[in-house]
Structure 1
């Protein structure tokens, strides 16, 4: 198998896994299901990925890296309001760009298991850092609560309202999360 064929097969495996994980849940979808969806044998699947956890890690790697980069870029902004706006808009943009994958992480409890501890830990760390930045410097407990509420207001509806078009949802998510933080709300 050539390098291009291997890369194409891995991409097809990841796409098939995304479909199966989001329609059946991560736990319910089996390696056999993934192999059948791709049209390869189960041993061939194991040639590309050693486990379902490894497939999941490959599936979520890009959105998690993008969220991490967004948070790092936001931290470099000059004012608290700029940091907050960048965290909100950047995280919303990444989550909408990877809507199915983020829905899987946000709504499928079966994703959280022994084989995914590192992945879940990294996502929790990114979320905690985002909330910390949204809270601003030296927040009191009320500020930390509002920051957590703002992050949830920006993230949760992405998986809960799949029928709303991305651009319309983005606008409302920014409005709601900004209002919670007391940021000026755009049109």
Structure 2
């Protein structure tokens, strides 16, 4: 039952964070929506930032695994394919959470610094790998643009079928990377 309550808390928080923003959703709101008392909520999670960490942790872990797997690839083409395709797949699988991370500036607050710093580190590592060894500043810019082209629109086109959106995101990122 405890695991079920934790899952309900996290899912409710996701709904409230995406509907009202992370900052606007309160622990009281989450507790009321779940149908538990605030003390019960605090028994499961010490803070709203802990809930956020639990919510975004799995997709961030998956993104990190994709980037580290790509780092072990032999060719620059394999690295790019794994980073762009893998990161897009993770982001599409966790669309609502990625929408929260990409579109809600209030998640970038003092109490969520560690979680957001980890995400930033993963993105920076992905861009570094996309750029390749000894890349000049132009190549690094194109790598950053390609990564953004592949990942940023995930939260904007929720009405587009996943397979179609994935194909177009990767097509656009490849065009930027290879110009």
TM superposition shift of 1:155: 0.9
| 1:171-186 alignment runs, 5 A limit | 171-182=167-178
Q: Which runs of no fewer than 5 residues in structure 1 stay unpaired? A: none
- The answer to whether the aligner puts 1:136 opposite 2:136 as a matched pair is no
Of residues 7, 16, 30 in structure 2, which corresponds to 1:20? 16
2:32 alignment counterpart = 36
| CA–CA separation in structure 2 for the residues paired with 1:43 and 1:166 | 40
Of residues 35, 42, 50 in structure 2, which corresponds to 1:54? 50
| CA–CA separation in structure 1 for the residues paired with 2:82 and 2:174 | 11
2:156 alignment counterpart = 160
| CA–CA separation in structure 2 for the residues paired with 1:69 and 1:87 | 10
| CA–CA separation in structure 1 for the residues paired with 2:103 and 2:161 | 19
- The answer to whether the aligner puts 1:122 opposite 2:118 as a matched pair is yes
- The answer to whether the aligner puts 1:146 opposite 2:147 as a matched pair is no
Describe the superposition over 1:156-186 as per-residue Cα deviations: whole angstroms up to 9, x where unpaired. 1001222212111101001000111129xxx
TM superposition shift of 1:122: 0.2
| CA–CA separation in structure 1 for the residues paired with 2:2 and 2:149 | 40
| CA–CA separation in structure 2 for the residues paired with 1:85 and 1:37 | 42
TM superposition shift of 1:137: 1.2
1:76 alignment counterpart = 72
- TM-score under structure 2 normalisation? 0.98
| CA–CA separation in structure 2 for the residues paired with 1:57 and 1:120 | 9
TM superposition shift of 1:37: 1.3
Describe the superposition over 1:59-98 as per-residue Cα deviations: whole angstroms up to 9, x where unpaired. 0000000000000000001100100110000000000000
TM superposition shift of 1:43: 1.0
Q: Which runs of 4+ in 1 moved over 6 A?
A: none
Number of aligned residues = 179
Q: Which runs of no fewer than 5 residues in structure 2 stay unpaired? A: none
